[in-house]
Amino acid sequence: MCGRARECLWHAVPPRKEPCERDAGLREFRGRRLMLRSRIIPCLLMQDSGLVKTRQFGDPKYVGDPINAVKIYNEKQVDELSIYDIDATVQGRGPDFDHLRSIAVESRMPLCYGGGVRSAADAVKLIKLGFEKVSVSAAAVERPALIRELADAVGRQSVVVTVDVKKGGLLGRLGVFTHNGKRAAKVKLADFVPMIEDQGAGEIVINHIDRDGMMQGYDLELARSVRAAVDIPTTMLGGAGSVDHMRELIDAIGTCGAAAGSLFVFNGVYRAVLISYARP
């Protein structure tokens, strides 16, 4: 390290003075260091300890073993991997910690888990297993104060709220749904999204049920409205069928998370199972 840079690290900057990092070389390095890029996130759905992929939250198709998938994604050096147990909340049970431990042990990438998390104790246990993020959905809708409890227990950066949305009602407006899209929530989407940030979540995931597994592109209008409503990182899930769809999302809302399921587990028009990964 040059003496000029070392001086910056060891001495405070006086009031109304510019830090010496304004030197061209250090400024260039700092710019590179702070540059953010969008995260491309495979999303895996667990059911009965195996992996499935759904269409509009129905018609689950078996796609393999989660540990094998994790090993493949390790080699592909994915940005992050999200795993959701889609039956935990519906069946009224908590996370399968033993199974999740075996998954976390194999992973060499950041992991997010959701499904059946209902307390700060659940979140703490998941973090200790090796998961970087914990996602809540129905439990946060039922009791938004849980978001704050989780943030206090494991840190805001580790708390994700996943919001499942689809069109419903006489007017066909987007609403919040829980329990695999079977139960309509009383809260309005426009009210719930900013509440998530206010309660202390570090990230919001919007999962579009109508587009799940359809591979026809993200809902860009929805993405723009959510991004405008919050300052925390935003991830969109539901609809990605190509890297071009991800590029369209990033172009529409800037740095974000672009999550996908079918795109990274199926290949071709016959939806043959093939674990893959690609970036726009």
Catalytic annotation on 152? Answer: no
Altogether, the residues listed in the chain come to a count of: 280
Q: Please classify residue 236 by burial: count the beta carbons closer than 10 Å to its beta carbon, then call 0-12 exposed, 13-18 middle and 19+ buried.
A: buried
CB of 81 within 8 A of CB of 112?
yes
Using left for φ > 0, alpha for ψ between -120 and 50, and beta otherwise, residue 94 falls in beta
- 67: enclosing H helix or E strand: helix 66-76
Catalytic one of 87, 122, 164, 212: 164
* Locus of tokens 């206090």: 152
Which residues pair with residue 166 across a beta bridge? 175
* Locus of tokens 């172009």: 251
Residue environment code for 206-229, b if the CB has 16+ CB neighbours within 10 A, otherwise e: bbbbbbbbebebbbbebbebbbeb
Cα–Cα distance measured from residue 155 to residue 171, given in angstroms and rounded to the nearest whole number:
39
3-state secondary structure of 259: strand
Cα–Cα distance measured from residue 120 to residue 124, given in angstroms and rounded to the nearest whole number:
6
- Cβ neighbors of 91 (< 8 A, separation 6 or more) are none
Which residues are designated catalytic? 164
